Chains A and B, each alone.
Chain A
Amino acid sequence: MAQFKIPDTDYMYSGHVGCPGCGATIAMKFALKAMGEKTMVVIPACCWGVIAGPYPQSSLKVPILQAAFATAGATASGLRAALDMKGDSETTVMAWAGDGGTFDIGIQALSGAAERNEDFIYVCYDNEAYMNTGVQRSSATPFGTRTTTTPGKGWKKSRKKNMVEILAAHRIPYAATASIAYPEDMIQKFEKARRMKGGTRFLHVFATCPTGWRIPSEMSVKIARLAVQSNVFPLYEVENGVDYTINVKGNRPVTDYLKIQGRFKHLTDEDFEQIQDMVNEDWELLLRKTISGQKG
Chain B
Amino acid sequence: MKQVLEGSHAVSEAVRLAKVQVMSAYPITPQTHIVEALSEYCSDGTMNARFLCVESEHSAMAAVIGASSAGVRTFTATSSQGLALMHELLHWTSAARLPVVMAEVNRALAPGWNIWMDQTDSLAQRDTGWIQFYCEDGQEVLDTTLMAYRLAETVNLPVMVVLDAFFLSHTFEPVDIPDQRLVDRFLPPLSPRIALDTSDPFAMGQMAPPNIYMEMRHDIQKAMEQVPDIFIKVEEEFGEIFGRTYGMVEKVYCDDAQIIMVMTGTAASTCRKVISDLRSQGEKVGMLKLKMFRPFPLNLMREHLGHVQKIAVVDRNFSFGASGIFAQEIRAALHNNQNHPPVFGYIAGLGGRDVTPEILTEIYWKTKNNTVPIDESVWVGLVD
Q: Is the CB of B59 within 8 A of A82?
A: no
Q: Is the CB of A58 within 8 A of B206?
A: yes
Which residues from A are CB-within-8-Å of B206?
Answer: 52-58, 64, 66
Interface size in chain A (residues, C-beta < 8 A): 46
Candidate in B22, B56, B66, B68 with the most chain A CB atoms within 10 angstroms: B66
Q: Is the CB of A65 within 8 A of B204?
A: yes
* Residue A81 at the chain B interface, CB threshold 8 Å: yes
Q: In the bound complex, what is the Cα–Cα distance between A115 and B56 (angstroms)? A: 13
- Within the complex, the shortest CB–CB distance from B23 to chain A, in Å, comes to 9
* Residue B282 at the chain A interface, CB threshold 8 Å: no
A49 and chain B: residue at smallest CB distance: B207
* Residue A219 at the chain B interface, CB threshold 8 Å: no
Q: Is the CB of B203 within 8 A of A70?
A: no
Q: Is the CB of B204 within 8 A of A76?
A: no
Interface size in chain B (residues, C-beta < 8 A): 42
Q: Is the CB of A79 within 8 A of B69?
A: yes
B209 and chain A: residue at smallest CB distance: A54
Q: In the bound complex, what is the Cα–Cα distance between A80 and B197 (angstroms)? A: 13
- Within the complex, the shortest CB–CB distance from B229 to chain A, in Å, comes to 29
- Stretch from A104-112, A235-243, A279-287 at the B interface: A104-112
* Residue B382 at the chain A interface, CB threshold 8 Å: no
Q: Is the CB of B207 within 8 A of A78?
A: no
- Within the complex, the shortest CB–CB distance from B196 to chain A, in Å, comes to 4
* Residue A63 at the chain B interface, CB threshold 8 Å: yes
Q: Is the CB of B50 within 8 A of A62?
A: no
Q: Is the CB of A74 within 8 A of B204?
A: no
Q: Is the CB of A55 within 8 A of B212?
A: yes
Q: Is the CB of A84 within 8 A of B208?
A: no
Q: Is the CB of A83 within 8 A of B70?
A: yes
Which residues from B are CB-within-8-Å of A127?
Answer: none
A79/B70 contact (C-beta < 8 A), A71-B58, A91-B198 known: yes
- Within the complex, the shortest CB–CB distance from A158 to chain B, in Å, comes to 25
Q: Is the CB of B63 within 8 A of A63?
A: no
- Within the complex, the shortest CB–CB distance from A180 to chain B, in Å, comes to 23
- Within the complex, the shortest CB–CB distance from B55 to chain A, in Å, comes to 3
Q: In the bound complex, what is the Cα–Cα distance between A64 and B69 (angstroms)? A: 10
Q: Is the CB of A63 within 8 A of B201?
A: yes
Q: Is the CB of B72 within 8 A of A67?
A: no
Q: Is the CB of B89 within 8 A of A86?
A: no
Q: In the bound complex, what is the Cα–Cα distance between A195 and B214 (angstroms)? A: 43
Candidate in A39, A57, A71, A109 with the most chain B CB atoms within 10 angstroms: A71
A71/B59 contact (C-beta < 8 A), A54-B207, A78-B64, A116-B52 known: yes
List B residues 47-98 near A (Cβ within 8 Å).
Answer: 48-50, 52-56, 58-60, 62-72, 74, 88-89, 92
* Residue A259 at the chain B interface, CB threshold 8 Å: no
10 A-B contact pairs sorted by A residue (CB < 8 Å): A42-B66, A52-B203, A55-B209, A58-B202, A63-B197, A64-B202, A74-B59, A78-B52, A79-B69, A82-B74
Mark B residues whose CB is within 8 Å of A.
21-22, 24, 48-50, 52-56, 58-60, 62-72, 74, 88-89, 92, 196-198, 201-209, 212
Mark A residues whose CB is within 8 Å of B.
37-40, 42, 49-50, 52-58, 60-68, 70-71, 73-86, 91, 108-109, 111-112, 115-116
Task: Give me the 7 closest cross-chain CB pairs, A-B, nearest first.
Answer: A78-B66, A66-B205, A78-B63, A112-B55, A71-B62, A74-B59, A82-B70
